Amino acid sequence: MSLEETQVQTAGTHQRPYIQAPSGKGRMRAHIRKHAMPYLLILPSLLFLVAIEFYPLGVGLLEAFKYHNRVQPWATQYNGIDNFVKAFNDHTVRIALRTSFVMVFGIVGLSYLLGLLSGVLLNQRLRLRGVYRALILIPWVAPPVVSFISWQWMLNDQSGIINRILINLGIIGEFDPILWLADPTLAMVSIIVVGTWSRFPFMMITVLAALSAIPDDLNEAAAVDGATPFQTFRHITFPLILPVSVIATLLQAIWVFNDFGLPFVLTGGGPANATTPLILLAYKEAFQRFNIGYGTSLAVISMVLMLALGAVYLRLQAKQQGEMS
Amino acid sequence: MARSRKNHGLSRRSLIGGMAATPFAVGGLGNTSVWAQEEEEPGATPEPTLVPAPDAVQLEFWDMQWGSAAFMAAMQNLVTEFNRQHPEIYVNFRQLAWGDYTQKLLSAVQAGTPPDIGGGDSGIPFNMAAQGEALDISDLYEEWQNDGTFDDMKPWAYEKWQDFQGTTPGITWQLDSRGIYYRKDLLEEAGVSVPTTWDEWRSALEALHKPEDGLYALAVPGKQGSYDTDQFYMTLAFQAGARLADEEGNPTIDTPEHLAALEFEKDLVTNFAAEGTPSWTFTEVMRAFEQGNAAMAFGGGWFIEDIRVNAPDLFDKVGLLPPLEGPGGPESQFIVSFANPWMIYKQTEHPEEAKTFLRWMMQPDNLMQMYSSEPGGKWPVYNSLLETETYQSNELIATMAEHTLEYGVDYWYPNTAAAVGIASMGTTLTDLVINPVITGNREPKDALADAQAAVEPLFQRQDS
């Protein structure tokens, strides 16, 4: 039914024409007719997403509510929320969660500070600025596993280059190595240092992008008004890059929380489970002990926590876009 | 747990080459052998494979990256030779990396596309059989029994797989042994004779330990998450008379025998090993030994060739301790020697052809082609091969081969009642027991209780 057709003149008192709203069915049909092409165009992507994202996710979610060990197929059955109850009562899981958060706060905090510092420095008019920027990107573009294995060599207590340098400088004794990877506290420090090294370039790029969007005249005006460089940074630059920083930090937090490779390669989760985050524990349950159900439930806990962070991220992004528009 | 693997270490010479090669190693995470290939080894390139005949039955054979390029080339050549001799069958060999082979095999089984014949860790046929995915090869066993093959074979190599839940899911094609290497010259200097018991060993370590001179008496792996770590512990556990399960298939980790082994390991690591041991794998162990920083080292057969190549000055000064007598007495004088299998997957559409292939591969002469491609890399399942040039080429190899056949057992010994549970332990012993204890974060008794509780569900059986 076209709009013209719906235009009905009522008899008697109502002289002015009005438009009768189409019925629900008609509205839907009109909408589909108008928007069919866009839906058709996104259909392959949707199907693809369903196949590789939502279907496995659905299967995974179901697994989390099962006792399912690959080598005990006869024992597979839905067990309600038993896996989650077990997880929340499991001391190892609590330690792993704590480890995950320590990694997140340590790596994200330090990589932001370092990224901010290097971003601000490389935003200055320096000679060979482009070269420095490219060099700083190396940790980020290098394949993570390669980097982590190299770090593992460097941090080796007996023959690692870091202890060698410290010995040569006379800082530590020849036979008194620092146990970078064998002491629980130092192992966590090593994880945070290596994680920071590999992730701060992303922060630097983000900060640089935000800095380049700040008009020069703002800084010039501040300078004319007598603001020191620190005051300019604190009251003008930093507030302007803060929204982008928050989003980048949240993204990093999600990535670090899910970072399996770093602890797996560098420490294997040890010593004494000191560097086993939740995601590594989930892997060990699922793929080393074949405990697919329980391992999946740990992964689901991780996913829920990350979804919460993701929701914050999306909200902030929407707010930021609102402010920009 | 119980993953027997070729664990090449990093030699000094390979370090630089390895750094250059690291980008290529990403896909093989967990498989350090990539770096140990210092240069193109002789025989490292396999011969060209054949093209399958149009009507040939095609089989997929998947196995692990067991050794150097030369070893893997020998494996491929053997498959090619089979294809040449059997034009009606064409076997396609695919190497799996250690990093993700479990996931690959499980996914393939799930997707209905497993290989026809496969290898893997020393427990994989049990896991596959438990999922109903292993073909029963008891008819082949009967043949081998009747034709005398088993008379020449180390009994544990076939007994391990016999009659597991009513089927025979695999056959051992190679043994992968661990032992304790020692420096003869240092022992002589200290005026100590070669130890044969735990007490003598401890005394010898006491005499050898000179950390102030940069010499640790003992180098052993202790890293969390590493399969290397539990191998030293299990050597001690066997010698203490401990087993992982009883005859009914119940886990027996929390026992006085295990406690004796664990307390002894803690004592050894605390008093005679480098402080960094809780982060060491075989790579660090071998490096410490080859650099002269350790008087004794626990390691695999591949240490022999690595020492010969990277520390030639040491080679003649190195010996192999005999299997030690611990609290378990002479009847528990074992070394860890993984019985690594081949199996046929139940989903194969060509079981007879797959058996033909397995039968042919298991012939001593054919296996010998692989064994001889990397002397010391793998140990034979057949006693008669001990006399071959490969296993008599030097004293270390001859000794390790002899120890393997006489004293070698793996984690499933002596029965398979708990086979699936043992094969599913992953790095539980390392993560919950050994590493926390040697770092001083957990008392031995408590750690064993933790592990016992953790593995009990894995040991549940359908009939229990």
- Quick check: is A165 in a domain? yes
Q: Do A149 and B287 touch (CB under 8 A)?
A: no
Distance in Å, alpha carbon of B447 to nearest chain A alpha carbon:
11
- Quick check: is A277 in a domain? yes
Instruction: Choose from A67, A72, A172 for mutation: most chain B CBs within 10 A.
Output: A72
DSSP string, A14-59: --S-EEPPPPHHHHHHHHHHHHHHHHHHHHHHHHHHIIIIIHHHHH
Q: Which residues of chain A lie closer than 8 angstroms to B106, CB-CB?
A: 70
Is the per-residue pLDDT at A1 higher than 90?
no
Q: Do B420 and A158 touch (CB under 8 A)?
A: no
Query: Could you report the per-residue pLDDT of B17-51, keeping only the tens digit for each?
Result: 333 333 333 333 333 333 333 444 556 677 777 88
Q: Mean of the pLDDT values across residues B412-430?
A: 89
Q: Do B212 and A175 touch (CB under 8 A)?
A: yes
Q: Nearest 5°: phi and psi at B134? A: -105, 135
Distance in Å, alpha carbon of A89 to nearest chain B alpha carbon:
14
> Which residue in chain B is spatially nearest to A272 when comparing CA positions?
B436
- Quick check: is A136 in a domain? yes
Q: Do A69 and B426 touch (CB under 8 A)?
A: no
Residue B163 — left, alpha, or beta (φ > 0 → left; ψ -120 to 50 → alpha)? left
Distance of CA B423 to CAs A263, B2, B4, B287, Å?
24, 7, 11, 30
DSSP-based helix, strand, coil % in chain B, nearest 5: 50, 15, 35
Considering its fold, how many domains does chain A have in total?
Answer: 1
Minimum mean pLDDT among A32-46, A157-171, A257-271, B291-305: which range?
A32-46
Query: Could you report the per-residue pLDDT of A86-110, keeping only the tens digit for each?
Result: 999 998 899 999 999 999 999 999 9
Distance CA A117, CA B226 (A): 38
Is the per-residue pLDDT at B298 higher than 60?
yes
The domains of chain B, with CATH numbers, are 12-176+340-382 (3.40.190.10), 177-335+414-459 (3.40.190.10)
> Which residue in chain A is spatially nearest to B219 when comparing CA positions?
A158
Query: How confident is the prediction for chain B on average, in pLDDT?
Result: 89
Q: Nearest 5°: phi and psi at B223? A: -70, 140
Cβ-contact B400, B379 below 8 angstroms: yes
pLDDT score recorded for residue B13: 35
Distance CA B64, CA B76 (A): 12
Is the per-residue pLDDT at A15 higher than 80?
no
- From the number of C-beta atoms within 10 Å of its C-beta (0-12, 13-18, 19+), residue B372 rates as buried
- Please indicate, yes or no, whether the overall pTM of this predicted structure exceeds 0.95: no
Instruction: Choose from A156, A189, A290 for mutation: most chain B CBs within 10 A.
Output: A290
Is the per-residue pLDDT at B395 higher than 80?
yes
Query: Could you report the per-residue pLDDT of B118-158, keeping only the tens digit for each?
Result: 999 999 999 899 889 999 999 999 999 999 999 999 999 99
- Quick check: is A75 in a domain? no
Q: Do B420 and A71 touch (CB under 8 A)?
A: yes
pLDDT score recorded for residue A180: 95
Q: Mean of the pLDDT values across residues A50-72?
A: 90
Distance in Å, alpha carbon of A192 to nearest chain B alpha carbon:
17
- Quick check: is A43 in a domain? no
Q: Do B130 and A72 touch (CB under 8 A)?
A: yes
Distance of CA B33 to CAs A129, A156, A203, B66, B122, Å?
41, 19, 36, 9, 19
Is the per-residue pLDDT at B107 higher than 90?
no
The domain spanning residue A92 has which CATH number? 1.10.3720.10
Query: Could you report the per-residue pLDDT of A171-216, keeping only the tens digit for each?
Result: 998 888 999 999 999 999 999 999 999 999 999 999 999 999 999 8
Query: Could you report the per-residue pLDDT of A216-261, keeping only the tens digit for each?
Result: 889 889 989 999 989 999 999 999 999 899 989 999 999 999 999 9
Nearest residue to A245 (alpha-carbon basis) of A214, A196, A218, A205: A205
Is the per-residue pLDDT at B242 higher than 90?
yes
Distance CA B43, CA B70 (A): 5
pLDDT score recorded for residue B31: 33
| Residue-range definition of the domain harbouring residue A238 | 82-324
> Which residue in chain B is spatially nearest to A264 when comparing CA positions?
B225
Is the per-residue pLDDT at A126 higher than 70?
yes
- Quick check: is A304 in a domain? yes
pLDDT score recorded for residue A325: 64
- From the number of C-beta atoms within 10 Å of its C-beta (0-12, 13-18, 19+), residue A79 rates as middle
pLDDT score recorded for residue B464: 58
- Quick check: is A183 in a domain? yes
Q: Mean of the pLDDT values across residues B199-211?
A: 97
- Quick check: is A257 in a domain? yes
Q: Which of A180, A184, A273 sits opposite B431 (nearest CB)?
A: A273
Better-scored residue on pLDDT, A153 or B461: A153
Distance in Å, alpha carbon of A181 to nearest chain B alpha carbon:
6
> Which residue in chain A is spatially nearest to B23 when comparing CA positions?
A146
Is the per-residue pLDDT at A153 higher than 80?
yes
Q: Do A179 and B462 touch (CB under 8 A)?
A: no
Q: Do B420 and A72 touch (CB under 8 A)?
A: yes
